[in-house]
Amino acid sequence: MLPVLRHIVSRTPVVAASVAIALLAGCSSGGDGAGDAERFCGEVQVNADRLTQPDLQFSDDIEPFLDLYREIGALAPLAIEPEWDQLINAYETASTVVPGDPESEQAALAAIFSTEKSAAAVDRWLETNCAVDIGPVFTIVAQNG
């Protein structure tokens, strides 16, 4: 699981709900649908800390975080786009958390946990194709290549 997702899951329910709201919304490829691997890699590298360790103290911090993922996601190459999109879908779900509502909190956790395979794939793709290490990706189930 990407560090930001692990961070969200590790919080108490109220804090998890608040942090989870900071998660992503829709992403699509660049104009021709092919993405731009060089720019994608560069943007992930430049923004690695903001992507994996966001400073989400206030509700106003959420939209810029989402926008960052959207902007970088628009550059995602076809080879990794489905996995990136799955992460975004989990972030979208997490962004709908209603603090204190166990049902919405559980939906967010389920969405986050369902992205383990995608998070591991994105991490491997970035390391292989971009020489970018976004930090350890923690998963409950081992995600071998």
Residue-by-residue DSSP string for 73-89: HTT--TTTHHHHHHHHH
Give the model confidence (pLDDT) of 42-70 as tens digits.
Answer: 999 999 999 989 888 887 777 788 788 88
CA nearest to 9, candidates 85, 108, 92, 95? 108
Q: Give residue 102's pLDDT.
A: 95
pTM of structure: 0.72
The DSSP code sequence of 92-129 is HHHTT--TT-HHHHHHHHHHHHTTHHHHHHHHHHHHHH
As a whole-number percent, the residues of the chain with pLDDT over 70 amount to 73
Q: Parse the chain into domains and list their residue ranges.
A: 3-130
* Structure confidence at residue 23 as a pLDDT band (50, 70, 90): very low
Positive or negative, the CA dihedral 83, 37, 124, 42 is negative
Confidence of residue 25 (pLDDT cuts 50, 70, 90): very low
For range 114-118, the mean pLDDT = 91
- Window from 3-17, 53-67, 71-85 with minimum mean pLDDT: 3-17
Residue whose token pair is 């946990």: 113
Residue 34 — very low, low, confident or very high, per pLDDT cuts 50/70/90? low
Mean pLDDT is lowest, of 46-50, 95-99, 106-110, 114-118, for 95-99
